[in-house]
Amino acid sequence: MKRLPGNTLLMLLLAVVPGLATCSETVPARLEPAAAPVEVEHEAHAAHEALDEATPARRWLPDAPLSRGMQRVRSATETLGHGSHGHLDDAQVRGIAAELKAAVDMMFAECKLDPEPDAALHPLLARVLMASNTLSESGYDATALAELQAVVARYPLLFDDPAWSASQSD
């Protein structure tokens, strides 16, 4: 049996069962690791990918907390990119991990979305939290960076965020 780190099981559940939590709920800071068979983890990952790949016919408008939170995620991801060149020490990487988690926690606490965009958002936030967890436990990780970059690329496919588009030219 493989033990899952920290919030991994919760994040997999949030990704696979979109109605499990809404953005107005808070995510517990830490859950005890739970044991799960590798097969269950692979099935959950496959379900997560299927949910994450669906693109709406029309992009949703984000509320202000979602827009601010995702801009924080993008900024932290861009900063983490310097780690691939060895320009970040462990303390800086852990600071980025903390910023990612704080951004997601803020989005869970403050954003108010309709059920459909809320359900589409959850897999993205789960991926950010898993990457944050990896970074805080292991330091710089290229796979975590790639996961965050994928989230940053996916967000504008789901949400028509005027602030996101405007800040692209910064």
3-state secondary structure of 61: coil
Residue 164: CA count within 13 A, CB half-sphere: 24
Structure tokens at 18: 């979109």
pLDDT band at 53 (very low <50, low <70, confident <90, very high): low
For residues 126-152, average pLDDT: 97
pTM: 0.70
Structure tokens at 122: 């959850």
Residue 20: CA count within 13 A, CB half-sphere: 16
Q: What is the DSSP string of 119-167?
A: HHHHHHHHHHHHHHHHHHHHS--HHHHHHHHHHHHHHHHHB--HHHHHH
For residues 41-54, average pLDDT: 49
| CA-to-CA dists, residue 29 to 10, 32, 43, 155, angstroms | 11, 10, 25, 24
What is the rounded distance in angstroms from the CA atom of residue 37 to the CA atom of residue 22?
27
Position 57 scores a pLDDT of 84
Which range (1-5, 18-22, 124-128) has the least confidence? Answer: 1-5
Position 56 scores a pLDDT of 82
Position 4 scores a pLDDT of 42
For residues 48-69, average pLDDT: 80
φ/ψ (deg, to 5) at 3: -90, 135
| pLDDT exceeds cutoff 80 at 76 | yes
Q: Is 57 exposed, middle or buried (0-12, 13-18, 19+ CB in 10 A)?
A: exposed
Q: Amino acid identity of 74? A: R
| pLDDT exceeds cutoff 80 at 51 | no
For residues 24-46, average pLDDT: 43
| pLDDT exceeds cutoff 50 at 12 | no
What is the rounded distance in angstroms from the CA atom of residue 133 to the CA atom of residue 27?
14
| pLDDT exceeds cutoff 50 at 119 | yes
